[in-house]
Amino acid sequence: MWIARSIRLIVLVLLTVSVAADAEEQSLAKIPSTFLMQLEINDVIGPATTDYIERNLQKAADTQAHAVLIRLDTPGGLDTSMRRIIKKIISSPIPVISYVAPGGARAASAGTYILYASHIAAMAPATNLGAATPVQIGGFGGFGDDKKDQDDKENGPDKPLSDPMTHKMVNDAAAYIRGLAKMHGRNEQWAEKAVREAASLSAEEALKLNVIDIIATDVRDLLNQLQGRKVKVSGQEVILNTEGIAIKRMAPDWRSEFLAVITNPSIAYILLMIGIYGLVFEFANPGSIVPGTIGGICLLLAMYALQLLPINYAGIALILLGVALMVAEAFVPSIGILGLGGVVAFVIGSIILIDTDVPGFGIDLGLIAGFALSSAAFFIIAIGLLIKSRNHPIVSGKEEMLGRIGVVLDDFDGMGRVRIHSENWQASCNRPLRKNEKVRVTAIDGLLLKVTPIQLQGDE
pLDDT score for 143: 57
Give dist(CA 142, CA 136) in Å, integer. Answer: 7
Write the CATH number for 53: 3.90.226.10
Cis status of the peptide bond prior to 102, with omega within 30 of 0: yes
Q: Is 3 domain-assigned? A: no
Give dist(CA 142, CA 192) in Å, integer. Answer: 17
Same domain, 181 and 300: no
Same domain, 55 and 198: yes
Residues with Cβ within 8 Å of 408's Cβ and at least 6 positions away in sequence, in order, are 416, 417, 418, 433, 434, 435, 436, 437, 438, 439
Q: Is 159 domain-assigned? A: yes
Same domain, 275 and 192: no
Last residue of a domain, one of 348, 373, 391: 391
Same domain, 226 and 242: yes
Write the CATH number for 405: 2.40.50.140
pLDDT score for 229: 92
Same domain, 273 and 369: yes
Q: Is 2 domain-assigned? A: no
Last residue of a domain, one of 348, 369, 391: 391
Alpha helices in 200-289 (DSSP H): 203-208, 219-226, 254-262, 265-284
| pTM given for the model | 0.68
Nearest to 99 by CA among 179, 13, 212: 212
Same domain, 345 and 249: no
Across 312-325, b (16+ Cβ under 10 Å) vs e yields beebbebbebbbbb
Tell me the pLDDT of the chain (460 aa) as tens digits: 433 444 444 444 444 444 444 544 444 444 444 799 999 999 889 899 999 999 999 999 999 899 999 999 999 888 889 999 999 999 999 999 999 999 999 999 899 999 999 999 999 999 999 888 886 433 344 555 444 444 444 444 444 445 677 778 888 999 999 999 999 999 999 999 999 988 999 999 999 999 999 999 999 999 999 999 999 998 889 899 988 899 999 988 888 888 888 888 888 889 988 888 888 778 777 777 888 889 889 999 999 888 888 888 888 899 888 888 877 776 776 666 777 888 888 889 888 888 766 666 678 788 888 888 887 777 666 655 655 555 555 445 566 677 788 888 888 888 898 888 778 888 998 888 888 888 888 888 878 888 888 864 444 3
Last residue of a domain, one of 204, 223, 253: 253
Give dist(CA 245, CA 226) in Å, integer. Answer: 11
Q: Is 17 domain-assigned? A: no
Q: Which residues are catalytic?
A: 109, 168
Same domain, 181 and 285: no
Q: Domain limits at 377?
A: 263-391
Q: Is 20 domain-assigned? A: no
Domain count, the chain: 3
Same domain, 50 and 199: yes
Same domain, 177 and 246: yes
Letter for the amino acid at 457? Q
Give dist(CA 62, CA 28) in Å, integer. Answer: 10
Q: Is 109 domain-assigned? A: yes
Q: Is 359 domain-assigned? A: yes
pLDDT score for 158: 46
Same domain, 339 and 209: no
Nearest to 56 by CA among 74, 75, 37, 41: 37
Q: Is 13 domain-assigned? A: no
- Distance, CA of 29 to chain centre: 35
Same domain, 196 and 281: no
Same domain, 238 and 118: yes
46: left (phi over 0), alpha (psi -120 to 50) or beta: beta
